[in-house]
Structure 1
């Protein structure tokens, strides 16, 4: 068994596994949304969603106290998914029902808020986001060198990054559908370049040795890829089984079990195992 698990400690399995876990969990997030609506009904779904957000907040609290980077990263990610589903998506639906306005208008109206708050993270000198750092480096937008000895909280960073990337792509897709149309040349162009971007990031991710870095890199990579997947769903090329838990009970349970097993592999990888294998690989090379 141990020899089998060692397969997952090496590239490309570390990065690919992390990517699949994040990508599929995004779909399961849609399933969670549907289950809350189905189980609790219209009268109690918003209360249930609020509690769901509280569970996410608790996971974030636990993750921020964790010393284990992998566990903290996963806790931050799932905290973000639960808080986004429970507090963000359901709040839009609540006020949509209250005002009899379509949900997409509420999401689009947050564009300015996202841009204003994102500026804090964009100009933060402690950021290690490769996307932001590219602009800092090439457009001379850096605000200074990172603080020496600065200790990052992986759960908090992962949670915020996840929320902002999901938020960004929700807005992008809604704006595309609203002002360009889902089958316009603009949307086709976005799909093409977004898919290339996702594949490029996945190719880089497949070379990662470190699980923590792989997970943090896999989150935006999978979310970028999921945006292309959402467009394929919009074009009716694929079927979104996540929204039909009654029809796909066995499949969704199987997927959830596989995801849980994959996360356990990532979290309980022996400390230093990746680095030891990397050194051995370099020595043999």
Structure 2
């Protein structure tokens, strides 16, 4: 599921894989785990920075983090190799989201004194997430551009285009944008994180549903089932880069029921107290770095082999 544009080579590889019924379990599992590990690590980084850094330093660090992420994504445009470009877009996108989205929401929530949502004496929703739904209009603005202005590889957007445009689809969205894999990955990650945060905030809001509402549970179950079907499709992707990009969508959808279950205290979210679970968090970090290096050297080896 890619938000930016379609990849003809990846799509061809995927189609061939589905016709031959050949699956690539290690590639799918490794890609899924690589992206999955970023979820608790991202939460832990924010929490540790808030706990152990001065508020002013947090905001400067967050802004710097977002800027570094943007630079990494831009560097990825000029890097050779689909997998490498994907990795630059993934890491850069994560830093961008954390620094220039979440920390900026945090800054303005603190600056204007937005209170957290408290239940039974505990904070259940931080101020920065309470104001995030105000960005719904901007999210729709970007989605409108994608729906009406580009032929792309996102199944969800393609489905909307078919339903809205019907036979006129080829006339309205007859060509893709200029494609840079790093930018594709960056936009996919940020648009999906943004969309799922908006969905969760809508579900948690008692003015609409509430975290114990049956519809909220249905959203969680639907995302869990959907992520299984997405992972099944991921198994047929022979390209490492395409597998990682598909894993981004799969993991974000999979993480939605995890967030809901944590919200209703079905299990303890250890990543919200990383200082108490140091060993576990370090193990996740080591596993993430190992997979990242594995993908990087795998791409280097393949590129070196092709150049001979």
TM range (shorter): 0.7 to 0.9
Is the contact made by 1:165 and 1:223 (CA closer than 8 Å) also made in structure 2? yes
TM-score by length of 1: 0.86
Q: Does 1:216 align with 2:216?
A: no
How many angstroms apart in 2 are the aligned matches of 1:251 and 1:27?
Answer: 11
Q: Unmatched 5+ residue regions in structure 1?
A: 1-9, 276-285
**Partner residue, 2:228:** 199
How many angstroms apart in 2 are the aligned matches of 1:70 and 1:15?
Answer: 14
**Partner residue, 1:84:** 97
**Partner residue, 1:6:** none
Which shifted more, 237-246 or 113-122? Answer: 237-246
TM-superposed deviation, 1:77: 1.1
**Partner residue, 1:71:** 84
Q: Summarize deviations over 1:229-279 as a string: whole Å, max 9, x none.
A: 101111212222222221111211111111111122222224289x9xxxx
Is the contact made by 1:201 and 1:221 (CA closer than 8 Å) also made in structure 2? yes
Is the contact made by 2:93 and 2:186 (CA closer than 8 Å) also made in structure 1? yes
How many angstroms apart in 1 are the aligned matches of 2:280 and 2:173?
Answer: 50
How many angstroms apart in 1 are the aligned matches of 2:100 and 2:73?
Answer: 14
How many angstroms apart in 2 are the aligned matches of 1:18 and 1:190?
Answer: 25
How many angstroms apart in 2 are the aligned matches of 1:41 and 1:93?
Answer: 14
Note the 1:210-249 alignment, pairs <5 A: 210-249=239-278
**Partner residue, 1:122:** 147
**Partner residue, 1:158:** 185
TM-superposed deviation, 1:174: 0.5
Structure 1 residues 13 and 87: alpha-carbon distance in aligned structure 2, compared to 1, 3 A threshold? same
**Partner residue, 2:294:** 265
How many angstroms apart in 1 are the aligned matches of 2:303 and 2:91?
Answer: 24
How many angstroms apart in 2 are the aligned matches of 1:100 and 1:259?
Answer: 36
Note the 1:78-157 alignment, pairs <5 A: 78-101=91-114, 102-140=127-165, 142=169, 143-146=172-175, 152-157=179-184
**Cα RMSD (Å) of the superposition?**
2.0
Secondary structure at 2:275's aligned position in 1? coil
Q: Unmatched 5+ residue regions in structure 2?
A: 1-22, 115-126
Q: Summarize deviations over 1:180-229 as a string: whole Å, max 9, x none.
A: 01011110111111111111101111222111110111101110111111
Is the contact made by 1:29 and 1:85 (CA closer than 8 Å) also made in structure 2? yes
Secondary structure at 1:49's aligned position in 2? helix
